[in-house]
Amino acid sequence: MIKNNLQWKIGGEAGFGIMTLGVLFSRICTHGGLKTFAYPEYPSLIRGGHNTYQVFISDQQATSQIHDVHLLVALNQETLKLHLAELADGAAVIYDPADFGSESPKTEGKNVVLVPIEMNKLIKEKNGKPIERNTVALGASFGLLKYPWQYVEQAIRHWFKDKKPSLAESNVAFAKNGYELAQKQAEKFGYVLTTIDNAEKQMVVSGNEAIALGAIQAGLKLFAAYPMTPSSAILSSLAKNEKKYNLVVKHTEDELAAMNLIIGAGFAGARAMTATSGGGFALMTEALGMAGIAEVPVVVIMGMRGGPSTGLPTWTSQGDLRFVLHASHSEFPRLVLAPGDAQECFYLTHQAFNLAEIYQLPVIILVDKYVQESWQSIPLFNTAKLQINRGKLLTQTQLAKRAAEEIFPRYQHTADGISNRALPGLAGGIHIASSYEHTPEGYTTEDETEVTAQNDKRFKKLDAYLAKDVCGPKLYGAKKADVTLIGWGSTKLPGQQVLRLAEKQNISVNYLHFTYLDPLPINLVQTALQNCQKTLCVEGNKLGQFEGLLKQKIGFTMTGHYREYGARPFYPEKILEQVKKIL
Q: Are 541 and 570 in contact (CB under 8 A)?
A: no
Could you say which DSSP state residue 408 is in? P
Give the C-alpha separation, 316 to 307, whole Å. 9
Angle between helix 149-159 and helix 165-183 axes, rounded to 10 deg: 150
What distance, in Å, lies between the first and last C-alpha atoms of the chain?
34
Give the C-alpha separation, 262 to 264, whole Å. 5
Q: State the Rg of the chain over Cα.
A: 26
The residues that bridge with 191 in the sheet, in sequence order, are 2
Q: Which residues of 15-33 are buried (b: 16+ CB within 10 A; e: fewer)?
A: ebbbbebbbbbbbbbbbbb
Could you say which DSSP state residue 574 is in? H
Q: Are 424 and 434 in contact (CB under 8 A)?
A: no
Q: Are 394 and 420 in contact (CB under 8 A)?
A: yes
Give the C-alpha separation, 112 to 72, whole Å. 10
Q: For position 404, what pLDDT does the model report?
A: 65
- What is the SS3 assignment for 178-219? HHHHHHCCHHHCCEECCCCCCCCCEEEEEHHHHHHHHHHHCC
Distance, C-alpha 175 to centroid of its chain: 31
Give, for 365, the enclosing helix (H) or strand (E): strand 362-368
- DSSP 3-state of 444: strand
Give, for 378, the enclosing helix (H) or strand (E): strand 375-379
Give the C-alpha separation, 559 to 17, whole Å. 45
Q: Which residues of 390-420 are buried (b: 16+ CB within 10 A; e: fewer)?
A: eebbbeeeebeebeeeebbbbbeeeeebbbb
Distance, C-alpha 140 to centroid of its chain: 30
Beta strands in 387-505 (DSSP E): 474-476, 483-488
Largest CA distance in the chain: 89
Give the C-alpha separation, 441 to 183, whole Å. 75
Give the C-alpha separation, 173 to 126, whole Å. 10
- DSSP 3-state of 500: helix
Q: Are 493 and 369 in contact (CB under 8 A)?
A: no
Angle between helix 18-31 and helix 149-159 axes, rounded to 10 deg: 130
Give the C-alpha separation, 197 to 75, whole Å. 33
Q: Which residues of 173-187 are buried (b: 16+ CB within 10 A; e: fewer)?
A: bbbbbbbebbbebbe
- DSSP 3-state of 118: coil
Burial class (CB in 10 A: 0-12, 13-18, 19+), 468: exposed
Give the C-alpha separation, 85 to 392, whole Å. 59
Q: Helix, strand, coil % (nearest 5) of the chain?
A: 40, 20, 40
Q: For position 47, what pLDDT does the model report?
A: 75
Q: Are 285 and 328 in contact (CB under 8 A)?
A: yes
Residue 296 C-beta-side C-alpha neighbours within 13 Å = 30
Give the C-alpha separation, 564 to 64, whole Å. 16
Residue 208 phi, psi dihedral angles, 5° rounding: -65, -45
Domains and CATH numbers, the chain: 2-199 (3.40.920.10), 206-379 (3.40.50.970), 392-469 (no CATH), 474-582 (3.40.50.920)
Q: Which amino acid is at 140?
A: A
Tens digits of pLDDT across the chain (583 residues)? 899 999 999 999 988 889 999 999 999 999 999 999 999 999 988 777 899 999 999 999 999 999 999 999 999 999 999 999 999 999 999 999 999 987 889 998 899 999 999 999 999 999 999 889 999 999 999 999 999 999 999 999 999 988 888 899 999 999 999 999 999 999 999 999 999 999 999 999 999 999 999 999 999 999 999 999 999 999 999 999 999 999 999 999 999 999 999 999 999 999 999 999 999 999 999 999 999 999 999 999 999 999 999 999 999 999 999 999 999 999 999 999 999 999 999 999 999 999 999 999 999 999 999 999 999 999 999 999 999 999 999 999 999 887 766 789 999 999 999 999 999 889 889 899 999 999 999 999 999 999 999 999 999 999 999 999 999 999 999 999 999 999 999 999 999 999 999 999 999 999 999 999 999 999 999 999 999 999 999 999 999 999 999 999 999 999 999 999 999 999 999 999 999 999 9
Give the C-alpha separation, 28 to 153, whole Å. 9
Q: pTM above the 0.85 mark?
A: yes
Give, for 287, the enclosing helix (H) or strand (E): helix 278-294
Give the number of residues written for the chain.
Answer: 583
Give the C-alpha separation, 75 to 72, whole Å. 9
Q: For position 70, what pLDDT does the model report?
A: 99
Q: Are 350 and 211 in contact (CB under 8 A)?
A: no
